[in-house]
Chains A and B, each alone.
Chain A
Amino acid sequence: MNLAHGSYFLLGGYVGLTTAARTKSFALALLSGSLAVALIGLGMERFFLRRLTRQSLPQVLLTMGFALVFQDLALLVWGGDPYNIAVPAFLAQSVQAGPVFVNFYRLFIIGVAFAVGVVLWLFLERTRAGASIRATVDDAEMAQGVGINVPLLSAGVFALGAFLAALGGVVGAGFIGVYPGLDFEVLPYAFVVVIIGGLGSFHGVVVGSLVVGLLDNFGKALFPELSYFTLFAPMALILALKPTGLFGKR
């Protein structure tokens, strides 16, 4: 349970913002934001979280502490003004299709999400490293026993998680902006997705994110008065019926 995951999103957005402002390149912004935060994640795992293997409460406290530190550091470095990252001109335009306006950047976000999903799935299901990860998730001790380097694998997976969160942050910065407090705004979404889907399940996360995204948007459109409710009520309902989430095993 990593409460600093929202901070990765935020830091990724800020690093991307600075890169985009300096180099005028959105691609470089994506790359630098994600890589910088992946390094931070790697450092956190190696020097702090590794000492707390399988101790979920200390992990929660430690990552919460990190989240607060990152929040204040970001405020110190980037100030508190809200920013939008400049996206390439061809993504910034909109076209009209019948009565509907389609903004290319929205399509780009959907495309990136889809690509990340497919690549992750292939990686987890079709590669040796992916099989090792699944084995470790199921039973770390046994995995270690059959010769899988679990500490190395954990560090890699953690860095990958940070990388993807930061990638989301840079892509998101072109749409929702970067500003103080963003970290703790995106965190609940991530948790709700994981909880609905079930811990440790890739399929669960895919289904969970679709459920959350659709419910949240249609909920806001159909019942604008209940916009907080539409996000958390389904989660409560699913947890009541199936405490491990839709696809969770534990």
Chain B
Amino acid sequence: MRSACAVAVLFASILGTGFAARGEASAKGPINVGLLVPETGPLAANGKDMINAMKLFLEQRQNKLGGRPVTLVIEDDAGVPATGLTKARSLIDGNRIHVLVGPLSAAVGYAIAPYVTEKKFPTLFPIVSSEDLTQRKRSEYIIRTGWTSAQPSHPFGKYAYDTLHYKKIAMIGYDFSFGWEVAAGFQRTFEDAGGQIVQKLWSPLGTADYGPYLAQLKRDVDAVYAIFSGADALRFAKQYADAGLKGKLPLIGGGTFTDEHVLRTMGDESVGIVTALHYSAVVDTPANKKFAEAYQAKYSQVPSYYSEGTYVSCLALEKALESVGGDVDDREKLVAALRKVDLGSAPRGPIKIDSYGNPVENVYVRKVEKVNGKLQNTVVHTFPSVSQFWTYKPEEFLKNPVYSRDFPPCTHCQK
């Protein structure tokens, strides 16, 4: 099932290890970083974005972190939980890595979480956004550098009511936890503000024809909220326009719906869609300008949030390694340093890890626009320093069940 796993050993300068002045850390040899991503299967393109970002970062640092050379080991999880767990074991026990970065799929994330926790292994999750991984089922050893599914949805729900002046919204999205969570966060704050979610439709991953769903979509609403990604996003946006709904019913949604990973191949049907995410390739920060330019130059592609998330994992790792002096053998110390990471200038803006292991970061409301013939997610509003709990008290937030298909309940949905 798998292609040959790519083991990329990036050569360190021989001189670097020879200098005694570098301290004892460098005398211990290279730091082994394991990257667990899908290189085959439906998520392969997004996995490639992650690998690209990691390689770009290491190239920019002359392959050195915390004064020690880095050996990168990449394993392919194919987006399959069982494969992911096997590969995580082989990375940790076989390749003797010191820190694990990945995976991409939430299902793989949940599969490896108990294992890395049991091993007390320092692990960075750049993409997986399942709420409970830094909430009710959090692990001391997993630090996220990405987001929780509802993190951008919370401010966006409020924004949709206060600024976009929508009162009634119909929702359609993925029928599994990612879709439910993104939609639920939006529903909660949108209804808190005074709006009404009058319909929630769920479609399975890989729905070829959205016709039956579009036919059921309520027309007497102010906007339609959609949460998809990848090929599904591409299809949904196109079929929404084909059905004559574009321009009649405004389309808004979760950030992955128009993230650069799919915007690259989208057409004009996506222009005008408003979404919220913790990143856009055109976020106006000096760090992003440098990152996006370097990425574009090396790979002839705009970076996606998969790329940026992995790049930020690298930045966090670098920061933590500096504070522990490159000592990766004391796992507890490394984990503690990672949990304290405070990045003033990541591409997406300032990031601080909260005490649950999730970043507090800006959330951007973005609108798809065509600039110089290219589609981009223009930032129209910034919510600074958004926590995964939004303005709710963490203790009270955690007393609720995790966001799901039925929570919060859809009180305004009519049958």
| Binding partners A and B | yes
A218 to B212, CA, bound (A): 7
Chain A residues contacting B244 (CB-CB under 8 Å) are 94, 96, 101
Cα separation A105 to B244 with both chains bound (whole Å): 13
- Within B17-68, the residues touching A (CB, 8 Å) are 40-48
Chain B residues, Cβ within 8 Å of A225: 202
CA distance A154 to B215 in the complex (A): 43
Contact A94 B40 (CB under 8 A): no
Which residues on the B side are within 8 Å of A94 (C-beta)? 242-244
Q: In the bound complex, what is the Cα–Cα distance between A101 and B239 (angstroms)? A: 11
A68 to B78, CA, bound (A): 13
Contact between chains at A180 and B41 (CB < 8 Å): yes
Can you list, as one digit per residue, whether each of A218-250 has a CB less than 8 Å from chain B (1) or not (0)? 101100110110000000000000000000000
Assuming the A-B contacts A84-B234, A225-B202, are A79 and B45 also in contact, with contact meaning beta carbons closer than 8 angstroms in the complex?
Answer: yes
Q: What is the chain B residue whose CB lies nearest that of A96?
A: B244
Q: Which of A81, A92, A181 contacts B41 (CB 8 A)?
A: A181
Q: Which residues of A contact B3 (CB under 8 A)?
A: 72, 75
Contact, CB under 8 Å: B235 / A180:
no
Chain A residue numbers with a CB within 8 Å of B209 are: 175-176, 217
- B234 and A180 contact, CB distance less than 8 A: no
Could you mark each residue 110-152 of chain A with 1 if its beta carbon is under 8 Å from any beta carbon of chain B, else 0? 0000000000000000000000000000000000000000000
> How far, in Å, is B238 (CB) from chain A's closest CB?
6
Distance (whole angstroms) from the CB of A63 to the closest CB of chain B = 15
Shortest distance in angstroms between B239's beta carbon and chain A's nearest beta carbon? 8
CB of A112 to closest CB in B, whole Å: 16
Q: Residue on B with the closest CB to A189?
A: B208
A94 to B212 Cα, complex, angstroms: 17
Q: Tell me if A80 and B46 are in contact (CB < 8 A).
A: yes
Q: Does B89 have its Cβ within 8 Å of any Cβ on chain A?
A: no
Is A25 among interface residues, defined by CB-CB distance under 8 A? no
Closest to A71 in B: B40
Q: Which of A81, A172, A176, A220 contacts B212 (CB 8 A)?
A: A220
Among B234, B242, B244, B264, find the residue whose CB has the most chain A CB atoms closer than 10 A.
Answer: B242
Assess whether B297 is interfacial by the CB under 8 Å rule.
no
Chain B, residues 263-294, CB within 8 Å of chain A (1/0): the string is 01101000000000000000000000000000
- Are the CB atoms of B204 and A227 closer together than 8 Å? yes
A90 CB to nearest B CB, Å: 14
In the bound complex, do residue A224 and residue B201 qualify as a contact, i.e. CB atoms below 8 Å apart? yes
What is the CB-to-nearest-CB distance from B177 to chain A, in angstroms, rounded to a whole number? 16
Hey, which chain B residues are within 8 Å of A221, CB to CB? Answer: 212-213, 215-216
Q: Which of B183-207 contact A (CB under 8 A)?
A: 201-204, 206-207
Min CB–CB distance A85 → chain B (angstroms): 11
* Minimum CB distance partner of B211 in chain A: A217
Is B324 located at the chain interface by the 8 A CB criterion?
no
Q: Is the CB of B204 within 8 A of A180?
A: no
CB of B111 within 8 Å of the partner chain: no
A225 to B180, CA, bound (A): 13
Give CA–CA (A202, B382) in the complex, Å: 59
Give the contacts of A171-186 with B (CB-CB under 8 A): 172, 175-177, 179-182, 185-186
Are B203 and A82 touching (Cβ within 8 A)?
no
Q: List chain A residues, Cβ under 8 A from B206.
A: 181, 185
B231/A82 in contact, CB under 8 A: yes
Interface string of B239-260 (1 = CB under 8 A from A): 0001111000000000000000
With an 8 A cutoff between CB atoms, is B230 at the interface? yes
- Beyond the given A75-B40, A181-B206, A221-B215, could you list 14 further A-B residue pairs with CB under 8 A, ordered by the A residue number? A72-B3, A84-B235, A96-B244, A101-B242, A106-B242, A175-B209, A179-B42, A180-B41, A180-B42, A180-B45, A218-B212, A220-B203, A221-B212, A228-B204
Task: List 26 A-B residue pairs with CB atoms under 8 Å apart, sorted by A's residue number.
Answer: A79-B48, A80-B42, A80-B46, A81-B264, A82-B45, A82-B265, A83-B234, A83-B265, A84-B267, A101-B245, A103-B243, A175-B209, A176-B235, A177-B231, A179-B231, A179-B234, A180-B44, A181-B41, A181-B206, A181-B231, A186-B208, A221-B213, A221-B216, A224-B202, A224-B213, A225-B202
